[in-house]
Every structure is written in structure tokens, then in C-alpha cells.
Amino acid sequence: MSDFAFTLSDADFVARSDGTLWWPSKRLLCVSDLHLGKSERIARRGGTLLPPYETRETLWRLDAAITATDPSCVICLGDSFDDLTAAENVSDDARKTLTQLQAGRDWIWIEGNHDAGPVDIGGTHRGEVVVDGITFRHITDKATRGEISGHYHPKAGLSGLSQRACFLLDKTKLILPAFGAYTGGLSVRDPVLSGLFDPTGLAILTGKTALAVPISACLKR
């Protein structure tokens, strides 16, 4: 796996090619927008049926990231469940997997717009959390310096290269890609995202390797 190391607010991080964020000195793994239970939520609301395996696949990928890094703390940056009913309806197998992943480590569920309330699946539930001056929250606040967030499911690509889920990074903040198996994405060229970042920042594309490219290059595509 080829990852990308960078510095934000004097702290050294690694954007992993699987879409997770690793803070080595803190042994902290951060992941965003798992959207567990999305297929169940869509079926419950009468939408298009999706294969019922997205929770299993998402947790399998999360298990692999945790095995690779062995974190002492995991922060889930909100929208971990597709809604609170999906959290209540999570299968026994998924609960067992989450319990195993949480064992022996701090586990923090950050409140998201889809799951704005506590979940009864272990760990602690917070609106946001600050670690050594770095703020972890679901939706970015443009005024905050030294911030890590999610929510937007960013994607980016270059000419001749299909769009991939990506991290977006500049001197003050980082937005993580969505980690969930069936999550969509928002292009970095969308004004909602392009207006949040300095064009000298980077889009770090996920995949087999973490490919860092200037945001400005992605905007020209």
C-alpha cells in the first residue's frame, strides 16, 4: 500500500490509500462517513433496492485498516450510520464485529447530520473532539484552523484518469473521503467544495496508491 504523508498544524499525518487517516504519534486512526445500514434505510423508505452486503464490506475494510495500524484510538467522523434507525437495526453480526474492533482501544463516534444522536454500540459519542489543537468534526467550519472533517464525500480526477474518492488538504484543514461501500461522491469542481479550499491545496486520490495532485489541476479537468 502506498500512502501519502503530510503535515497539518505541525502534526504529521498519513493519508492512507484506503481512505483512512493515520496519526502515527498518537496511534490514532480516523475514518469518515461509514454510512452503515444504507441499503436497509433505502429499502425501509421504499427506494431502489441495493445489495444487502454494504455493512459487511465496509466493516471488512475497516477491520483491515485497524489490523494494519493497530490504533489505540479510532475516531469516526460522523454519518457512521445512515440514520439512527439503521443504527438500532444493525445486525447481530455487525454488532459483534464492532465490539471486536473496539476492544482495547478508545472509540469515538462524532455526531453527523445522518446520525445526530448517541448510538448504543459501545464507544463514546461526541459533537466534536480536539486532540493537541486539532479539531475533529463532521462538517467543516471555514473559520477553524487545524481541522479534520468529512461529510462531503469528495472525489477528484485528472484528464485520462477516472474520478476517485479523495482527501482534500490545504494549510488549515483536511476533508476525508467517505469510507462506506455504497457512498456517492461530490466532485471537487463543485462550487460547494472548490470554495472551501485554497487552490494551492492538494487532492489525495485513494485507490491502490494514494496519489496527491494539486486541487487546481483537478479544477481544470
Task: Encode the chain (221 residues) as per-residue pLDDT tens digits.
Answer: 589 999 999 999 999 999 999 999 999 999 999 988 655 544 445 555 555 567 888 999 999 999 999 999 999 998 888 666 656 667 788 889 999 999 999 999 999 886 656 677 889 999 999 999 999 999 999 888 999 999 999 999 877 667 899 999 999 999 999 998 777 789 998 998 888 888 789 999 999 999 999 998 887 75
Find out whether 80 and 41 touch, Cβ atoms under 8 Å.
no
22 bridge partner residues: 14, 29
How many domains are there within the chain?
A: 1
10 Å CB burial of residue 23 (0-12, 13-18, 19+) is buried
Q: Which of 141, 77, 159 is nearest to 113 (CA)?
A: 77
Distance between CA atoms of 69 and 8, rounded to whole angstroms?
20
Q: Show Cβ contacts of residue 171 under 8 Å, excluding neighbours closer than 6 positions.
A: 198, 201
CATH number of the domain at 202, please. Answer: 3.60.21
Q: Which residue has the cell 482527501?
A: 167
Q: Which residue has the cell 473496539?
A: 102
**Residue 91 pLDDT:** 79
Q: Show Cβ contacts of residue 174 under 8 Å, excluding neighbours closer than 6 positions.
A: 8, 13, 21, 147, 148, 149, 167, 168
pTM of the entire predicted model: 0.90
Find out whether 98 and 122 touch, Cβ atoms under 8 Å.
yes
Q: What domain range is 8 assigned to?
A: 4-219
Q: Identify the helix (H) or strand (E) that includes residue 155.
A: strand 154-156
